[in-house]
Structure formats: C-alpha cells, structure tokens
C-alpha cells in the first residue's frame, strides 16, 4: 500500500458516501485510476466494508460503558467459550484482548442504568468463568474518529 492508497482510505473514512469523482479530486487522481485503486483495495481486504455512523443517543442507547473483565482460568475451553458468548451479545460493540491486569476490554451501549444492570446480571454473569468485572461509565466524549492518522 502506498501513500495514495492511504489518502483514498482516509477520504473514504471521512465520507464513505463520497462519489469516485469527489474522492479522485480530493486525492489528486483522475477518476479511472482512483476507482481502480479503490477496487483493488477492496479486493485485497484493505477496505473491509462501508457503514453508517449513527447517533447512539438518537437511536435510544445513550449510555456507553467500558468494561474490563478478568477470567478465572485461561484454558482454551474457557477462552473460546467466553469469546463466543461475547460475540453473540449485541450490546457489545467492541471486545479487545489485553495485556495487564484485565483480560478483555469491552465497549458496551445500553439504554440506561437499569438496562446495564440487566445486561450484567442476565447476559454477562451466566457466561461463567469470570473472576472480575470493572465498569467505567462514559459521561462525555472528547474525540471520536474513524479516520486513521497519516503513516510516516
């Protein structure tokens, strides 16, 4: 991937609905080579897809919670069970495997505190094998971007 490909990706991350003509103008290419590069990036798996960015409050899920989970054991069976159950939970938008004190870091969205309590009691606790759960509620967002920084 060269710098022109990265410019195309950043332009698409800023506006996934931009036309090929708009992207080509932004990255200083003619439309045909730009479209060819976009198709090659898609085929190579560098562009994974396109989606709408929605306001979670307007959608009805105004509360974001970051949850750190530590497992009791780290056997293949326990890890696979935990990860498969987490993948099935719609409230979990992101789940990352970590180094350090916690094993997993989840980003969860819910309608409110009662919905969060229900999520923990009825969706997380039944998974089993969890040693600890630590939650941090988001009360403000300073920055939220899906645009990668420049490389180099």
Reply yes or no on whether the pLDDT at 5 is more than 90.
Answer: yes
Q: Give whole-number Cα distances, 25 to 12, 20, 31, 70, 123, in Å.
A: 13, 9, 8, 48, 48
Q: pLDDT tens digits, residue range 30-41?
A: 999 999 999 999
- What would the two tokens of residue 136 be? 């941090």
List the CATH code of the domain at 56-137: 3.30.70.920
**What pLDDT is recorded for position 69?**
98
Reply yes or no on whether the pLDDT at 48 is more than 90.
Answer: yes
CATH class of the domain defined by 3-43? mainly alpha
**What pLDDT is recorded for position 152?**
82
Q: pLDDT tens digits, residue range 23-32?
A: 999 999 999 9
Backbone angles phi, psi at 111, to 5 degrees: -80, -25
Q: What single DSSP character describes residue 77?
A: H
**What pLDDT is recorded for position 130?**
97
pTM: 0.90
Q: pLDDT tens digits, residue range 52-82?
A: 999 999 999 999 999 999 999 999 999 999 9
Q: Where are the alpha helices (DSSP H) in 28-112?
A: 31-43, 56-59, 76-87
Q: What is the mean pLDDT of residues 114-138?
A: 97
How many other CB atoms are found less than 10 A from the CB of residue 99?
6
Q: What is the mean pLDDT of residues 105-129?
A: 98
Return the domain boundaries, the chain.
3-43, 56-137
132 — pLDDT class (breaks 50, 70, 90): very high
For 107-124, b where at least 16 C-beta lie within 10 A, e where not — what string? ebbbeeeebbeebbeebb
**What pLDDT is recorded for position 66?**
98
Q: What is the mean pLDDT of residues 98-112?
A: 97
């Amino acid at each position: 991937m060269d710098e022109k490909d990265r410019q195309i990706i950043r332009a698409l991350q800023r506006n996934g609905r931009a036309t090929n003509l708009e992207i080509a103008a932004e990255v200083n290419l003619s439309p045909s080579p730009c479209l060819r590069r976009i198709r090659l990036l898609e085929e190579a798996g560098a562009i994974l897809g396109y989606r709408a960015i929605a306001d979670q409050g307007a959608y009805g899920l105004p509360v974001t919670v970051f949850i750190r989970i530590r497992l009791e054991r780290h056997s293949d069976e326990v890890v696979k069970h935990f990860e498969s159950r987490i993948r099935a939970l719609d409230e979990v938008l992101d789940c990352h495997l970590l180094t350090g004190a916690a094993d997993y870091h989840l980003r969860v969205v819910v309608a409110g505190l009662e919905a969060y309590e229900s999520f923990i009691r009825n969706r997380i606790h039944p998974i089993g094998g969890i040693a600890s759960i630590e939650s941090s509620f988001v009360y403000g967002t300073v920055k939220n971007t899906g645009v990668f920084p420049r490389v180099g």
